[in-house]
Amino acid sequence: MSEETQETGASECEEQSRELNARQQQIVDMGSATIRTERGTVHTITIVGQIEGHQILPATAKTTKYEHVMPLLAAIEESSEVDGVLILLNTVGGDIEAGLGIAELIASMRKPTVSLVLGGGHSIGVPLAVSAKMSFIAPSAAMTIHPVRLNGLVIGVPQTFYYFERIQDRIIQFVTQNSHVDRETFTKMMLQTGELAADVGSVIYGEEAVKIGLIDRIGGLSDALDCLHSMMEEERQRRMNVLKQ
């Protein structure tokens, strides 16, 4: 083997090592990863634990910080390198405003987006799950639908309850606009009694979520990626047709 060939091989190994280290650091810092293949570049975002909003949660709680996810989504949307986004969800809910803000950003993206509910997509995780252009849920995954709650001091005046009602209406409107579930069915599940211990609401699992139209399909990681790559290919074809015109 010539000296030039050895140097080329060493250079390629160093480049691959740097790329691997950068990808690992990206996972540690942001809970996300960029995957480049011959079929295109997919950016994977994980939304896990509690959605942290304006209040900082204890260090012992697993959180997804909205101030990290929001600029990341904006950067992905503007990136010429990323072709599609895969959102992996396993969340217990959290801050309503932060979660709904992230969901609104995902729903307004032009790039192909696919969500996959794994484990659970509870509370504000429901709008996050349906915000993608196509949503998947694992057969064993669960989704808890319940009314809006507020921790801490609550001032017992009519305005407070009106505020709750307005926020709840925003969530219902977002979910019904971004999925196939009808308003009556979703509201009924949200206000159902007798299913949750000392609480109001419903727990639904994979097949039921698809049956009522809340989630598009049952599936796992390979199904979600196949769907995303198909959407990415359609987007490439659309752009080529526009350029030809």
Q: Which residues carry out catalysis? A: 123, 146
138 φ/ψ angles, rounded to the nearest 5 degrees: -70, 145
**Dist CA 117 CA 136 (whole Å):** 6
Half-sphere exposure of 95 (CA within 13 A, CB side): 17
**Pairing mode, if any, of strands 142-145 and 202-205?**
antiparallel
